[in-house]
Amino acid sequence: MLRTLDKRQKGGGASSTIEAAQVKAKSQVEVKPVEKVQPIRKEPPVEKVAPVPRQEPQRQVPRQQPATSNKRAPIEDQLPPDYGRIVWITDPVDGFSAARIIDISKSGFTLTPLDTEDTVARRYEEVFSSEDDPRKSSYVANILISINPYQTIDGFYSTSKIKEYRGKSLGQKEPHIYAIADKSYREMKRNRKSQSIIVSGESGAGKTESQKAVLRYLCENWGAEAGPIQQRLLETNPILEAFGNAKTLRNNNSSRFGKFVQIHFANNGTVSGGFVSHYLLETSRICRQSSGERNYHIFYQLIAGSSPELFKYLSLGQPHCFNMYFLILNTFSVDNFL
């Protein structure tokens, strides 16, 4: 970098001297004609100066062109991104009501409640994201705060979304877990140091899904040459979840163990491997579960899907058999896991 700067300084000095030389050359040209002007005055060709004004309008023409091209941009593109968004606002009678943002200022929002044609003003802290608003994330410095939407949002984790966030700084696009993954990758490449992403939250907050999204982002962007390694990394999740996840009152697919996932990169920045370590598995769940909860998914999956040979080999029985009592203490079937 220093060398580059040095070169730039030298270059700058050289260009400034060239400019100085041009100025001197002009002044010399002007001085000399002053003495010889008298004989030249008689010559009508002095009118040849005319080309000079011709150049000025030529310069003005291209200035007008970008102005016309700006007009072509749709007006919607120039509006703030929150314009038209439906949100919840505080309401003195109902507590909260849905409204549409029609203006944004330093002091807050101007909105139109959906059930009236009135216009109301609200401060920023009195406006909340609505259920229909797919944007469930925000930043605090370089920390992503996200809310579990409990629904599939079209395109939110799509391949095109992955491409959108590649190489983008935090804040350049709307908050997303992909932006965090991209930042950590860029920091790793720039500083040549390992990076950590800590995913934290209460049970059911969406930690497992977020971690899977990070893995997918890194593998899809920089795992092309890794081939089977990339696939194997992504396929570890169903196996780990079968043995370590269970239905709880708060989450049908709750991880009952801590997970430390490492993704290794080669010097050229491509995914070269990975390692998943686990700790603190809730072993007591095998023998006993709270009311409304289940044992680990793998037991139910084996009973539901194993071949007759495997079924016999593992001495499995139907859930109501005596040796399977630890499975039927509570709910037996959970959507998507049997």
Q: Which residues bind ligand ATP (CB under 6 A)?
A: 148-150, 152, 201, 203-209, 251, 253-255
Give whichever of 149 and 273 is closer to ligand ATP, judged by the CB atom.
Answer: 149
Flag whether 116 is marked binding: no
**If you ran DSSP here, which 8-state letter would residue 296 be given?**
B
Q: Residue 253 Cβ, how far from ligand ATP at the closest point, in Å?
A: 4
Q: CB count, 10 Å around CB of 256? A: 17
Closer residue to ligand ATP, CB minimum distance, 101 or 244: 244
CA 53 to chain centre: 53
Nearest to ligand ATP of 199, 226 (CB atom): 199
Q: Are residues 289 and 246 in contact, defined by beta-carbon separation less than 8 angstroms?
A: yes
201 annotated to bind ligand: yes
Question: Which structure tokens are listed for 113?
Answer: 């409640």
Measured from the CB atom, the residue of 34 and 280 that comes closer to ligand ATP is: 280
296 is written with which tokens? 């680990």
Task: List CB contacts of 53: < 8 A, sequence separation 6 or more.
Answer: none
> Do 325 and 337 contact (CB within 8 A), yes or no?
no
Order of strands, sheet of 127-129, starting from the edge strand that comes earlier in the sequence: 120-122, 109-113, 95-104, 86-91, 127-129
The answer to whether the annotation marks 208 as part of a ligand binding site is yes
Q: Is 12 known as a binding-site position?
A: no
Q: Is 202 annotated as a binding residue?
A: yes
Pick the closer one to ligand ATP by CB: 155 or 317. Answer: 155
- Tell me if 204 is assigned to a ligand binding site: yes
Q: Hey, which residues does 139 pair with through a beta bridge? A: 144
Distance in Å, CB of 149 to ligand ATP, minimum: 5
Q: At closest approach, how far in Å is the CB of 181 from ligand ATP?
A: 14
Which two three-digit tokens encode residue 254?
A: 């709750």
Whole-angstrom Cα distance, residue 202 to residue 35?
89
Which CB sits closer to ligand ATP, 100 or 136?
136
* Closest approach of ligand ATP to the CB of residue 204, in Å: 5
- DSSP strand E in the chain: where? 86-91, 95-104, 109-113, 120-122, 127-129, 137-140, 143-146, 245-246, 254-255, 258-265, 271-279
How would DSSP label each residue in 56-97?
HHHHHHHHHHHHHHHHHS-HHHHS-TTTT-EEEEEETTTEEE
Cβ proximity of 255 and 300 under 8 Å: no
Q: Is 179 or 229 the residue whose CB approaches ligand ATP more closely? A: 179
What single-letter DSSP state applies at residue 168? Answer: P
Residues of each annotated binding site: 201-208
Residues of each annotated binding site for ATP: 201-208
